[in-house]
Amino acid sequence: MANEINTIGVLTSGGDAPGMNAAIRAVVREAIIKGKKVMGIKRGYAGLLQEEITEMNARSVSDIIQRGGTILQTARCQEFTTPAGQKKGADICRKHGIDGVIVIGGDGSFRGAQKLAANGINTVGVPGTIDLDIACTDYTIGFDTAVNTAMDAIDKVRDTSTSHERCSIIEVMGRGAGFIALWCGIANGAENVLLPEKYDYDEQALVNNIIESRKQGKQHHLIINAEGIGHSTSLAKRIEAATGIETRATILGYMQRGGSPTARDRMQASIMGAYAVDILCDGKSNRIVGEKNGRMFDIDIDEALAMDKSVGDYEYLVSCNLSK
């Protein structure tokens, strides 16, 4: 692996997340301040294998800190999951003089970074996913914006749900993780939250809870359903049949991945992007940047990918207690 880093590549990979642009901007400008050359790699590992690589300067990242999405665009790339694809990617980096690559993405993208490192290219990962499901870190770029977007949308559904005295099931993203659902459950004051980590599929208990809360004088019944549970539309039909209460399903979908990043996402993405450049220039490789208890740190990718993370038991208990 390179001892001295002269040229840094940067790519975004996996699902996009608001704040990725702030991270790209930080990488480019921190690297330039340190006298390094920066190459933007478009469309993640797919763009690397297609050699979609162009030099970036400080002006390449003007006017992007406030924008959702990623100016480098993102893609999923099957070829890069093969040893031949990974070697080709590393050879292309060497051909373009790239000594180190900063990968902004989720767990899958970090597995790619691990393979690039094994093929002789220094790598640092920056956690970017709305799902918050990267075990080694308390913060991932985009979660704060996504959860605020979902919360605003759910407030709107709540208005109409109350007016019509309906039960509303709102499905939020998160792949196999329930972080967005749990946060919305508490922040929106939902009556039920169905999390992949906790829901036992006891639908009768759910139905009983809806009937009971109606008896207690509740005018609506909000159920936040995590994507990992899914099937919101069919669940709505079954609940309506079992309770006699009009029930509607709303699947929030991709709106949660877009939009202007919150102050927190802009701030943290900027710090993480700069930190990634700093440790890459210090000669570190195969690392992920993380944040715990308000402090930045970096950790070996192999170690980080072996860690587990789940929604907090206490937060889940509170969401249940406060919904009565």
Cβ distance 132 to 179 under 8 Å? yes
| Site residues (CB under 6 A) for ligand F6P, limited to 62-121 | 106
User: What's the closest the beta carbon of residue 187 comes to ligand F6P, in angstroms?
Assistant: 18
Q: Which token pair is 321?
A: 């207690």
Q: Characterize 309-322 residue by residue with b for buried, 16 or more Cβ atoms within 10 angstroms of its Cβ, and e for exposed.
A: eebeeeebeebeee
* Residue 103, helix vs strand vs coil: strand
**Per-residue string for binding with ligand F6P, 173-212, x by CB under 6 A?**
xxx-------------------------------------
Binding of residue 264 to ligand F6P (CB under 6 A):
no
Q: Which token pair is 131?
A: 């799902």
Tell me the pairing of strands 37-41 and 53-56: antiparallel
Residues making up the chain, counted from first to last: 324
User: 115 touches which of ligand F6P, ligand ADP, none (CB within 5 to 8 A by kind)?
Assistant: ligand ADP
Q: How many CA atoms lie within 13 A of 263 on its CB side?
A: 0
Residue nearest to ligand F6P (CB): 15
Q: Which of 7, 13, 123, 225 binds ligand ADP (CB under 6 A)?
A: 13
Q: Which of 129, 168, 243, 319 binds ligand F6P (CB under 6 A)?
A: 129
Distance CA 75, CA 157 (A): 32
Q: Which is nearer to ligand ADP, 109 or 168 (CB)?
A: 109
User: What's the closest the beta carbon of residue 315 comes to ligand ADP, in angstroms?
Assistant: 24
| Site residues (CB under 6 A) for ligand ADP, limited to 34-53 | 45
Query: For this structure, is 131 an active site residue?
Result: yes
The H or E element that residue 7 is part of is strand 7-12
Binding site for ligand F6P (CB under 6 A): 15, 106, 129-131, 173-175, 227, 257
